[in-house]
A and B are shown apart, each in its own frame.
Chain A
C-alpha cells in the first residue's frame, strides 16, 4: 500500500490480488457462519475491494495495514448481511486471522456487478468496461472515445464511486 501510494501500479495490483484472496475466505466463512450459502461471496469481495480502494485515505501510514483492512471487511460483511435481512452479531475476528486459506473461484463471475454496471451512465459504463474487461490504459480509452485523458480518469473515479453507492442501495 505504501508503494502504491508512491505511484507503483504493479505493487497496488499485487496488493489487491492478495487482499481479494483473503477477502474471499473471510466472506465465505462469514456467510457460512451466518447460515447462508456462499453464492454471494464474490459480490462481497468486490464490494469490499471497492470500499477499500475508495477509502484508502483513511488508512494511517504509520499504522499496520491489516487491522484497517479487517475493519473495512467487517463493516462490509455486516452491511451485506443486514441488507439480506440478517440481524445477528457477526464477529470476523474468529476467522479473519488465517489469510492463507485460499478458495478457488475462477469460475464465479458475478452477475451482480454486471447488473449494477448496466445502471451507470453510458459513458461511465463504457470507460469501466474498456479499462477492466478489455484491459486498456486510460490514455488509449481517451483516444478511442475522443476524450481528454484526465476526463477519462475523472469519469472512471466517478463511476467507481457510483458503483459503490449502487452496491449500498441494492437490496435483495
Chain B
C-alpha cells in the first residue's frame, strides 16, 4: 500500500510503501476494508520515517476510530490534532497526505474528518474546511 506525505515545499507529495497482511481466513470483506483503511490512516497520521522531511501532524495526534461509509472513510482524530502551529501550511500538507493515502484504496473516494467524534467547520482557529468530505480534487 502506498502512503503519501507532503514535502516541506507544502505541495509536492512523496510516498512510502507499507506491506499489507493477507486477509485472515473467514474475515469479511468489510472487515478487511475497515482494517486496511485504519492501517492507512494510522500510517499517514504517523507520517514517513523520522529522517524524512515532511509536513507532519502535531505530535501525539492519533486515529481514534475509522468507519467506512460507502465510498467515504470517516477518520476520527484525537484532540492533539488541534495543537498544531495554526498555519495553513501545516493543515494543507497534513490533510493532503492523509486524503491521498486513503483515496488510494480502491472504493474509497472521499474522507470525512471528525475530531473527538465531532464534525467541525475547521480546526480551532484553522483554515481547511473539515465539515464536508475531502477528496483528491480539492488539491
A and B: partners? no
